[in-house]
């Protein structure tokens, strides 16, 4: 099962992961990562923009790579774009497999690519001013593992 989505509205991760898990009978494990807008004291908002002709096709390409690399039964990849508030989910990646290592590694692989090599531009509003956010050195190091 492959469920890849790009959303402009808030989503509830549990409402996606439950049906995803049920759609993969016989699985040995599910690993899920949910990223949220940080609620650091001065973060007022986060905005993600993207290049529409590449974003969803790129996410599908990333899913294809994950299926080729790991023994997966299913992959759920949901990413928000637009304006978000602290505490709102940004991304949910869930992988189902017969064995735990495949689903754990697949989620890690997808998140490292979404974080550093994807088609999104991110900025935060702090103290009323917008600031662009670039991938950190650690993000690039994490991506280089693959």
pLDDT at residue 103, as a whole number: 97
At residue 61 the predicted structure's pLDDT band, cuts being 50, 70 and 90, is very high
pLDDT at residue 140, as a whole number: 82
pLDDT at residue 76, as a whole number: 98
Residue 68, class by beta-carbon neighbours within 10 Å (0-12 exposed, 13-18 middle, 19+ buried)? exposed
What percent of the chain shows pLDDT beyond 90? 82
CATH code (residue 135): 3.90.1170.40
Q: Which domain holds residue 13?
A: 2-144
- Domain count for the chain, please give it: 1
Q: What is the pLDDT of residues 79-114, one digit of tens each?
A: 999 999 999 999 999 999 999 999 999 999 999 999
At residue 72 the predicted structure's pLDDT band, cuts being 50, 70 and 90, is very high
Residue burial 79-105, b: 16+ Cβ < 10 Å; e: rest: bbbeebebeebbbbbbbbbeeeebbbb
Looking at per-residue confidence, does 83 or 138 come out higher?
83
pLDDT at 141 over 90: no
């Amino acid at each position: 099962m492959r469920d890849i989505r790009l959303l402009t509205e808030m989503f509830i991760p549990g409402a996606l992961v439950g049906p995803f898990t049920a759609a993969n009978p016989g699985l040995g494990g599910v690993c899920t990562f949910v990223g949220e807008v940080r609620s650091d004291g001065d973060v007022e908002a986060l905005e993600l923009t993207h290049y529409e002709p590449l974003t969803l096709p790129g996410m599908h390409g990333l899913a294809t790579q994950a299926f080729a690399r790991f023994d997966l039964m299913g992959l759920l990849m949901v990413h928000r774009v637009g304006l978000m508030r602290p505490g709102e989910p940004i991304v949910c990646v869930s992988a189902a497999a017969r064995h735990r290592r495949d689903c754990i590694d697949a989620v890690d692989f997808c998140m490292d690519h979404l974080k550093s090599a994807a088609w999104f531009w991110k900025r935060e509003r702090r103290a009323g001013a917008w600031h662009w956010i670039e991938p950190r050195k650690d993000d690039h190091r994490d991506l280089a593992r693959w």
